[in-house]
A and B are shown apart, each in its own frame.
Chain A
């Protein structure tokens, strides 16, 4: 197990390093540069470039940047004057994280419940309804989902606020919009893993022992069926994070997604780089934790640790 964890951590570090290098090169290839302002004289331009170190040869820039990143310093933004990338991230990330966590909670909670209901009522109308919700959920892009929610709940029925992110009521619609796709995939997975468990031998044994239906379901079936859900948590975090990109724009939430898209369009080298590294690190760590957790929970992986 220890060997497995060490290997995964090393892999994560290499991944981050490669990511940072790719992005470093790609950012320099962006059309335009951060100082393409017609009013700018060549002298000011040269000054600015010297200030940000852009006049030095690329390898030198690369080494300096990597050293700073290693110390946790992502540099100054080139467009938002006087603000460091660290500060922009620390101001905007809490909003994205808040939205993401709410969406994940919503998606996993209802997704699992929906999956269980569907599996326990296999072939009945309730099952059909749950499958229908799941299929619809995987078929609607999140931004369309978001705008439909805004239209019906915000404008037509005037139930919930359309935009902004200040109170609990404001968080409901964006969380649903971000989480609905995940909800659908969780419920599909939960249903199929539940169906496998329902026909298993230990369920029969539990019934044969004379346990109540409630105990069979909660103590024996759900506990076993829920394990596969953990595997999709890693990729899910990625999906939810990119989901927040659009939903933040749609609901006017001052999260990272907005800064990210803006920084690309403005060719703000340091901000793009910093945010990408941050996103990447966040994701890599999230997937790492999920994988290790899964290794601990599932004895089959724990035992075959040598092979993996």
Chain B
């Protein structure tokens, strides 16, 4: 057995810098989420579909020879053709243009109402959760009371009071719609407030505002966005519902709800007139729900690397 002597060992050099270097590119939270959402085929397809709908809503009415409100007695209730891609309705209006004009209204309401709700809810929920105490008490009592009130009833009454139209719909939906996001943001912030990294920041003397913006917000953001995606179908549903019972968008303006309502009147004779808006509404809902599911998984750090 060979003797082990000290001479047989030598230092071959140690580079403290290279030891600490990260061999693979650093992937941030958002990059990671984006990477995973792209890998999730269903969610990515949903994202593309929604993008396509938005583009069509913006450009389709611009590049069509027809106008969404011009009636044409000679071309009433024509089925799908190369001239009218989605056919025409009972008053001879081109459904392709009307569908995308409706998309403008429905999508605007859906996105605007949900985003405003998420903002109000996050701010109030954030304040309530972060500061606690009397402010929290006050906000939570208001939320408790408002939560018990059926939101549809308040929305209906507000619609009747402040009138019809896109702005009114959005305002009416925002009066009570922020409560859901307020509750859940508060819960999240309460959890994070006690976490170690916030405690560390506090010990280092970071002011409250910076803690909220730099440390807490990025951690809640993923959840807020997921919730937002899930809230948009709800808002579009609500708009369709209100327009359907005659309180939302008034003719000749159109939204998907109005189109569905007009289509249902023709259901027995011209079923395609309800199929077109129905398919548009359903695919949008479907895409947003699936995208929401995908986002939830993508933003969940626990699921990282499981796929």
| Interface residue ranges, A against B (CB under 8 Å) | 11-12, 14-16, 18-19, 22-23, 26-27, 29-31, 135-136, 138-141, 143-144, 147-148, 150-151, 155, 238, 241-242, 245-246, 249-250, 261, 264-265, 272, 276, 279-280, 283-284, 287
Contact pick for B290, options A135, A151, A276, CB 8 Å: A135
CA–CA, A242 and B156, complex, Å: 11
CB-based nearest A residue for B261: A143
Judge whether A135 and B264 touch: CB under 8 Å: no
Judge whether B148 and A246 touch: CB under 8 Å: no
Judge whether A15 and B290 touch: CB under 8 Å: no
Query: Which label, helix, strand, loop or mixed, suits the secondary structure of the A interface?
Result: helix
B266-302 toward A: CB 8 Å interface, digit per residue (1/0)?
0110010010011001110110011000000000000
Judge whether A276 and B268 touch: CB under 8 Å: no
Judge whether A264 and B156 touch: CB under 8 Å: yes
Judge whether A15 and B286 touch: CB under 8 Å: no
Given contacts A27-B157, A147-B267, A246-B244, contact A139 B150 (CB under 8 A): no
For the complex of A and B, the 4 pairs showing the least CB-CB separation, nearest first, are A15-B148, A139-B285, A139-B286, A242-B152
CA–CA, A150 and B274, complex, Å: 13
CA–CA, A243 and B144, complex, Å: 23
| Interface residue ranges, B against A (CB under 8 Å) | 144-146, 148-150, 152-154, 156-158, 160-161, 163, 233, 237, 240-241, 244-247, 260-261, 264, 267-268, 271, 274, 277-278, 281-283, 285-286, 289-290
Query: Which label, helix, strand, loop or mixed, suits the secondary structure of the B interface?
Result: helix
Q: CB-CB < 8 A to B241: which residues of A?
A: 141, 143, 242, 245-246
Judge whether A283 and B289 touch: CB under 8 Å: no
Contact pick for A141, options B146, B148, B237, B267, CB 8 Å: B237
CB-based nearest A residue for B263: A147
Could you show 17 A-B contacts with beta carbons less than 8 Å apart? A14-B145, A15-B145, A18-B146, A19-B148, A19-B149, A138-B289, A139-B286, A144-B282, A151-B271, A241-B150, A249-B245, A261-B156, A279-B150, A279-B153, A280-B149, A280-B153, A283-B148
Judge whether B274 and A147 touch: CB under 8 Å: yes
CB-based nearest B residue for A138: B289
